[in-house]
Structure formats: structure tokens, C-alpha cells
Amino acid sequence: MLLAFIAGIAVIAIVLWDAFETVILPRRVTRRFRLAQLFYRSTWGTWSAFAALAPGRRRETLLGFFGPLSLLVLFAFWATGLIIGFGLLQWSLGSQLNVAPESHTFSTYLYLSGTTFFTLGFGDVVPLGAGGRVLAVLESGTGFGFLALVLGYLPVMYQGFSRREVSISLLDARAGSPPVAAELLHRHREDHGQEALRQLLHEWERWSAELMESHLSYPVLAYFRSQHDNQSWLAALTAILDASALVMVSASGPLERQARLTFAMARHAVVDLAQVFATPPRQLPSQRLKPEDWDPLRQILGWAQEATHRNPTFDDLARLHAMYEPYVTSLAAYLRLSLPPWAPPARKRDNWQTSAWERRASSPPTCATPDDDHL
């Protein structure tokens, strides 16, 4: 019975501390063993492997379910742990119950713990001794606080998700679908485009800081996918890093200074998030930036080079690219997200220029394109 008592105390303490670190503590936890971290690593691997068996659009839909669904399962996991922990305490103390002695089994104490935790108040099994009643009061208070924590946690999560997605949606008309750095600079080549681009990079510097703050505090947000299959927070962040690198090697003045600030903040976010998800940088040859992409990129950068008389080289861009590419590559592989290309894409309509009905009309239902909407 002593071992059961110690196990009950340990389970309750571990679950409550894990819930505190996950929901309340506003900073990244560096401790290796955490229930929530273990839960997400094990369930995400299984879920993503299962989703990979489904074709295109269905695969993205299944992956999109994971974030919200995992929250509910995690709450149930915590609640189950607390119920088992208090049940072990009642059983180890041999609390007197208002039922026949032969019914004083662990399952009865577990039932008592469950009804107490959720404050059901059935009254069919209640403790009679002082110790059992004290435990029941403590458990009912814990259950009430736990439910309040859940109710307060969900709005915070969805507010963070909504703030993140607003900027991603605004990037659609500015950088294409999916967002591409070359397209972003191409659409800002007209008069006053440099000032508009500088302001855009300033806004994305702040967005990167907010992303890092919210996703370090609540890593589950990284599993929440965007409304369109050809958009994601990682693709947007990578496109901004690409665009900042292009501006840094070709422009000067306020625009180049803002690009450096945005690049620094965005890279900081990528590196810290890679640490949170234990995805070490992949030192692999880049599949996105190739030497043959440099000539099309230089043509797009012509407006900046004419003003600065700079003559950037592919090596200049490759050095900046190497500072963040291994991190975004590892995150993309772990989260099953696509990264945007570097080369200017073939002319394609943005998400705002089309709809799911038009895509269905132009292709058979069994040949859904990667950028189909979630319905």
C-alpha cells in the first residue's frame, strides 16, 4: 500500500506540473522529460504516418485534424492521470466507503475518484472516514480548477492561431499562393514599391517575434494548419527569410536595414522552434536554391541594383541561405509541410482569384490539386 500511495502522489504531481508548464508558464521549458512533449512526439509520428497513406487533399485534411484533436486528447490524458492518482491514494489509505467491505476494490476507488473529480455528486459511493473525505474535497477542487483551466486555455490558443493566420492571408496577394520571395519582390517593383516593401518587412519582423513568443509558449499551435493547403506558417516564414536575403544582397539604405532586422528575427524564430521540436538542422544540399535560379532572380532584383549599383553574386545569397535552410528543412520534414520555391513560378492564380467550385469544374473530383480548400 505504501508503494500505491507514493505512486498516487507522484502521478498527481507530475500531471499537475506538466499542465502548469504547458498551459500557464509563459516560457519555453528545457526539461527533457515532459508528459505533453512525450504525448505529442508519440501521437504525431503515428498520426502523420497514417495520414501519409491518404491521397493529396485527404492527407492534408487528416493532418489538419491533429492540432485541435490532440488538445482534447491531451486534456483527457491529464484528467485520466489525476483520476488514477487520487484513486490510488484512496485505495492505499483504505478509506472507509458506504458500500459492503467486499466491494472495496481498486475499481470502486477509481469510480469514486472519477465521480469526485467531475463533481457528479451521485452519492452511491462516498468516503466515510476523515482522510477519505479530505481527499475527496481536494480532488473535487482540483477537478473544478482543471475544467476552468481548459475553458480558459482554448480561447487563448485560437486567438494566437487567428493572429498568425491573418498575416498569412494578407501575404496571398503580395507574394502569391504559395508565397514566393521572387514574386514578392516582383510585385513591389513599381514606383514607391521599395517603401511598401520596407513597411511589409517591418510588419513581418513583428509577426516573426509574435510567432516565436506564441509558439514557444504553446508549441501545439505549430500543428494547426492554415485554411488553404498551399499556405502554412512555415512557408510564409521561409518566404520572408528568402525575400530578406535577396534584399540584403542587392539593396541599400532603409530597405536593406529593415531586411536585416527582419532576417534576424525570422531566423531567431526558426532556430528556437527547431529546438522546441527537437529537429536538428539538416546539413543537406539545398533542394530549393540552385545556381540556375540565379539569373531569373537577378532580373527581378534589377530595380534594386540600378539604385545601388551593387553586383551581388550567387555565393552572397547562398551564404545567407545556409544560415536558415537546414532549420526550415528539418521543421518541414517533421511537420509534413512544404517549403516555397526560390525560382519565380509559372504564372498561376492566387487563392483570392479562384475558388473551390472553379477547381472542381476544371478537374475530375478524384484529381484534387494540392491547393484545394479545406471544406
Per-residue pLDDT tens for 21-71? Answer: 888 876 666 666 788 888 998 999 999 999 999 887 889 899 999 999 999
**Least trusted range by pLDDT, from 1-10, 161-170, 171-180, 303-312:** 303-312
Q: Tell me: pLDDT of 80 over 70.
A: yes
Say if residue 70 is in the same domain as residue 34: yes
- Does the residue 182 lie in any domain? yes
Q: What is the pLDDT of residue 113?
A: 94
Q: How many domains does the chain have?
A: 2
> Which helix (H) or strand (E) is 130 found in, with range?
helix 130-170
Mean per-residue pLDDT for 254-265?
95
Say if residue 147 is in the same domain as residue 296: no
Domain residues for the domain of 259 are 171-344
Say if residue 181 is in the same domain as residue 330: yes
Q: How confident is the model at residue 198 (pLDDT cuts 50, 70, 90)?
A: very high
Q: What is the pLDDT of residue 371?
A: 42
Higher per-residue confidence, 206 vs 295: 206
Q: What is the pLDDT of residue 34?
A: 80
Say if residue 88 is in the same domain as residue 191: no
Q: What is the pLDDT of residue 308?
A: 60
Report whether the peptide linkage leading into residue 178 is cis, meaning its omega lies within 30 degrees of zero.
Answer: yes
Say if residue 181 is in the same domain as residue 329: yes
Mean per-residue pLDDT for 310-318?
85
- Does the residue 313 lie in any domain? yes
Q: What is the pLDDT of residue 307?
A: 59
- Compute the chain's Rg from CA coordinates: 26
Quick check: 86 and 19 in contact, CB under 8 A? no
- Alpha carbon separation from 267 to 53, 142, 186, 293, 326 (Å, rounded): 33, 41, 23, 22, 11
Q: Tell me: pLDDT of 149 over 90.
A: no
Q: In sequence order, which residues have a C-beta less than 8 Å from that of residue 355 and are 6 or more positions away? A: 373
- Does the residue 121 lie in any domain? yes
- Does the residue 297 lie in any domain? yes
- Does the residue 196 lie in any domain? yes
Say if residue 31 is in the same domain as residue 178: no
Say if residue 131 is in the same domain as residue 197: no
Say if residue 24 is in the same domain as residue 140: yes
Q: What is the pLDDT of residue 62?
A: 92
Say if residue 114 is in the same domain as residue 249: no
Higher per-residue confidence, 149 vs 139: 139
Per-residue pLDDT tens for 93-145? Answer: 988 898 888 788 999 999 999 999 998 888 889 999 999 999 999 999 999 99
Per-residue pLDDT tens for 211-237? Answer: 999 999 889 999 999 988 889 999 999
Q: Please classify residue 275 by burial: count the beta carbons closer than 10 Å to its beta carbon, then call 0-12 exposed, 13-18 middle and 19+ buried.
A: middle
**Least trusted range by pLDDT, from 166-170, 219-223, 348-352:** 348-352
Say if residue 302 is in the same domain as residue 337: yes
Say if residue 105 is in the same domain as residue 213: no
- Distance in angstroms (rounded) separating the CA atoms of residues 104 and 245: 69
- Does the residue 364 lie in any domain? no
Q: What is the pLDDT of residue 366?
A: 37
Q: Tell me: pLDDT of 350 over 90.
A: no
- Does the residue 246 lie in any domain? yes
- Does the residue 355 lie in any domain? no
Say if residue 74 is in the same domain as residue 181: no
